[in-house]
Amino acid sequence: MTDSRTNSAADPPPASGADLHLELRGPGLRAGLAGALREAMRTGRLAPGTRLPASRSLAADLGVSRNTVVEAYAELVAEGWLTAQQGSGTRVATRVEPHRAAPDAPPTRPTRHRPRYGLLTGSPDLAGFPRTQWVTAARRALAAAPHDAFGYGDARGRVELRTALADYLARARGVYAEPERVVICSGFHHGLALMAQVLRARRVRAVAVEAFGLDLYRDLLTNAGLHTPPLYVDEHGARTDDLARLRAVGAVLMTPAHQYPTGVALCPERRTAAVDWARATGGLILEDDYDGEFRYDRQPVGALQGLDPQRVVYFGSVSKSLAPGVRLGWMVLPEELVPEIVTAKGHGDYMTSALEQLTLAEFIASGAYDRHVRAMRLRYGRRRDQLVAVLRQRAPGIRVAGMAAGLQTVLELPRGTESSVLRAAARQGLAVSGLAQFGYEVADCGWQLPERDALVVNYAAPSDSAWAGALDALCRVMP
């Protein structure tokens, strides 16, 4: 008859002595071993019921005599820390409870209720992530992956993904891209941080930024030691003709296809003015094409990079088209910048997950990425149409600004009402942003942002089940 105390699937074998991580302390080996075991049991590293290594095995692993281990075990059995039974080995006694310090009482804070509906910018509909298709692509990519994919690879990224991206970006965004000029990164933030390092190494002192945008990226540039003078933004986009009047500016960060967050496109004259400035001064245009695939009233405007691939650094990612959690982005660089970016990347986050890169490459090459973008374009376009129609009916005094594109839109409010609308939204359990939080100006720029009250509404973020409630809550807070 089999002894129920022998090893089984429910009773794992004892750990080896090397796995116990014991540090022997004390006046002698026996006392040091006994003390180390007590500490491991007291702190919970050796849980009640854990089976310890045989004395001979532990002695060999620790480099002590077997008698030392036998005597230490016997001492702890006598103290009640361990139990020893024939056929069951030596185990931590079940009555041993690890000692854990009582947690400090948390400081008293005001109660905060989690918003019921989220219309904050920055995220697509996460429920729309194509899980099944992504798993299929991952399986195919893993099955076909060469052995070198599991080693330290090219800092530029896997050639399979760089090749797939070069083809896709040329076809869908009008980008002049060769695989050798594509560098994979962990999203736009990572790519901009690398670019900031390179600009500082080139002794660039300032990077112009649009007067409306994310302070996260302005802060990134500032923390890298770069000044960030603002460019005024109006209904035609950033005033790029002002670049020539800004001192010591060696680059400009822009969202030309769909200005973030005001939602306007950079007009053709200003696109040309930006490229002319870069050519005349040797400056660089840093193009953030964060949601360029999503245009609902016409074909998307092509990337600015196509006008001059040697003066424009093109940034893209899957954060809006798929999900930010995938953590994959790319830079399409002027040829001369590739070695400098690769060097900067080698000083920090040298590699991005090769398996994620191969999966995305397969996802693009199979056509699944195009199909997903088309499906989400239809979904987001319907969402925006619903928003416009409902506001026209329930809040006719509210104007929807910006073009029919991207994941968010701007709702113009009566003068002086932005703060009160935001407070009302919070009471309704609605998380939404005011335009004021995206504004940026400095005292010596020669102009001030005009007073403008508005909400920035992300109609893409809510799931289908939450969208109707979010839209109703938004309408209830409109003045």
The model's pLDDT over 56-69, given as tens digits with 9 standing for 90+, comes to 888 888 888 888 88
CB-CB contact of 227 with 252 (8 Å): no
Give the model's pLDDT for residue 110: 45
Q: Is the pLDDT of residue 4 over 60?
A: no
For residues 136 and 346, the model is more confident at 136
Helical residues (DSSP H) of 174-288, grouped into ranges: 188-201, 215-223, 268-281
Residues 6+ away with beta carbon under 8 Å from 15: 50, 51, 52, 53
Least confident among 29-33, 64-68, 345-349, 466-470: 345-349
Q: Is the pLDDT of residue 71 over 80?
A: yes
For 317-347, how does the pLDDT look when each residue is reduced to its tens digit (9 = 90+)?
999 999 999 999 999 999 999 999 999 998 7
- The CATH architecture one would assign to domain 129-367 is 3-Layer(aba) Sandwich (3.40)
- The CATH architecture one would assign to domain 17-92 is Orthogonal Bundle (1.10)
Give the model's pLDDT for residue 6: 41
* E strand map for 228-281: 230-231, 233-234, 237-238, 249-254
Give the model's pLDDT for residue 62: 83
Mean pLDDT over residues 69-97, rounded?
83
Measure the CA dihedral 224/228/234/235, to 10°: -20
**DSSP code for 175:** -
Mean pLDDT over residues 396-404, rounded?
94
Share of the chain above pLDDT 70, in %: 91
Mean pLDDT over residues 26-34, rounded?
80
Q: Is the pLDDT of residue 113 over 70?
A: no
Q: Is the pLDDT of residue 185 over 50?
A: yes
340 to 159, 180, 205, 334, 335: CA distances (angstroms):
19, 14, 17, 11, 10
Question: How sure is the predictor about 18, in pLDDT bands with cuts at 50, 70 and 90?
Answer: low
Give the model's pLDDT for residue 9: 44
Q: Is the pLDDT of residue 220 over 80?
A: yes
The pTM of the full predicted model, rounded to 2 decimals, is: 0.79
Q: Is the pLDDT of residue 7 over 50?
A: no
For 357-385, how does the pLDDT look when each residue is reduced to its tens digit (9 = 90+)?
999 999 999 999 999 999 999 999 999 99
Give the model's pLDDT for residue 153: 85
Residue from 219, 274, 270, 216 nearest 249 by CA: 274
Q: Is the pLDDT of residue 105 over 80?
A: no
**DSSP code for 379:** H
Average pLDDT, the chain: 89
CB-CB contact of 186 with 194 (8 Å): no
Provide long-range contacts, Cβ within 8 A and 24+ apart, for 431-437. Answer: 431/115, 431/117, 431/118, 431/119, 431/120, 432/119, 432/120, 432/456, 432/457, 432/474, 433/120, 433/121, 433/261, 435/212, 435/261, 435/262, 435/410
Give the model's pLDDT for residue 1: 42
CATH number for domain 117-122+371-477, candidates 3.40.50.2000, 1.10.486.10, 3.90.1150.10, 3.90.420.10: 3.90.1150.10
Q: Torsions phi, psi of 51, nearest 5?
A: -90, 125
Q: Torsions phi, psi of 317, nearest 5?
A: -160, 175
Question: In the chain, which segments carry CATH 3.90.1150.10?
Answer: 117-122+371-477
Give the model's pLDDT for residue 318: 97
Q: Is the pLDDT of residue 104 over 70?
A: no
Mean pLDDT over residues 121-133, rounded?
95
For 148-175, how does the pLDDT look when each residue is reduced to its tens digit (9 = 90+)?
999 988 999 999 999 999 999 999 999 9
Q: Is the pLDDT of residue 106 over 60?
A: no
Least confident among 20-29, 297-306, 394-403, 429-438: 20-29
Mapped onto helix, strand or coil, the DSSP state of residue 234 is strand
CB-CB contact of 185 with 193 (8 Å): no
Question: In the chain, which segments carry CATH 1.10.10.10?
Answer: 17-92
Give the model's pLDDT for residue 230: 94
Q: Is the pLDDT of residue 111 over 50?
A: no
